[in-house]
Structure 1
């Protein structure tokens, strides 16, 4: 996809950040996890709360003010906490561009490595991360607040030289 640009999120992006995150999460997770009653609304509220509290830490990929995807570091450290691309535009380089920008910010902050994690059955995300230089360093059970149970997760690492 051409002409999108990556920029820091603003307050005006809060609703779009929440909506894109919720749509991307639901379109992926329910392909390999059962949808339990109330789960979708719980996750929508969590994305809204995150966007309201943390939009200053978010980078958005946008075209003409329309948010196509976003990524975040919850804190100013080496961990990429979020990477979400609207399902309607996945596979068009948006996730890669956001990921590269986040890695550059991490390197600019003086870190030698970047970390990210995902559901072990999220093969699309794992492939994307591997294409962008990440490798799996650990796999195991971890509590998922959104799914309210333990899930199999992979932790990945990229060298930033």
Structure 2
């Protein structure tokens, strides 16, 4: 059974490990994850230690399997990480639905996400859930010592779906 709930402070190390595992999979082919692993791990730990109270987690049969956050409590989804061994089982979809509900309840009209342009799996995931590409940018990434393309995606929340067979009078 899947349950989405708020994180607990004592879960920080486990959440950082999930984030790190999913991040390594996401940057495969884009960056040398092994050389950046320690910096990434420290980044996850630092973020989670300071923001754990605003992180949502998803449990699968009693085990934490992923987490998501809105770093600035706005419409921007800063993190959505699912343990790679349990990806493609609906966990990310459930976590995303919860985040979208929180964003809409907080009064924001849209949910926004950014990912690197080569993260095809994330782009497919968000497109499947109604997100459209809203921006493309390139910025120098000092840790990678190269330019990295990013894609911004956006989904308007709370709008009724329009079906092709609907008629408007």
TM-score by length of 2: 0.87
For structure 1, which runs of at least 5 residues remain unmatched after alignment?
A: none
| Bigger mean CA offset, 32-41 vs 84-93 | 32-41
Q: Say whether 1:17 aligns with 2:9.
A: no
Paired with 1:146 and 1:63, the residues of 2 have a C-alpha distance of 34
Q: Say whether 1:134 aligns with 2:134.
A: no
2:27 aligns with 29
Instruction: Specify whether residues 148 and 82 from structure 1 end up closer, same or farther in structure 2 by C-alpha distance, changes over 3 A only.
Output: farther
Contact 2:27 2:33 in 1 (8 A): no
1:109 aligns with 106
Shift of 1:36: 6.3
- SS of the equivalent of 1:139 reads strand
Instruction: Specify whether residues 36 and 122 from structure 1 end up closer, same or farther in structure 2 by C-alpha distance, changes over 3 A only.
Output: closer
1:96 aligns with 93
For residues 91-141 of structure 1, the C-alpha deviation after alignment (integer angstroms, 9 at most, x for no partner) is 001111111110110000111111111011111101110111110011121
Instruction: Map 1:66-77 onto structure 2 (within 5 A).
Output: 66-77=63-74
2:164 aligns with none
Q: Say whether 1:5 aligns with 2:23.
A: no
Shift of 1:51: 1.1
Instruction: Specify whether residues 38 and 111 from structure 1 end up closer, same or farther in structure 2 by C-alpha distance, changes over 3 A only.
Output: same
| Bigger mean CA offset, 54-63 vs 32-41 | 32-41
Q: Say whether 1:52 aligns with 2:43.
A: no
1:124 aligns with 121
- What is the number of residues matched between the two proteins? 158
Paired with 1:58 and 1:148, the residues of 2 have a C-alpha distance of 30
- SS of the equivalent of 1:111 reads coil
State the Cα RMSD in Å. 1.7
Shift of 1:147: 3.8
Which of the two has higher C-alpha Rg?
2
- SS of the equivalent of 1:53 reads helix
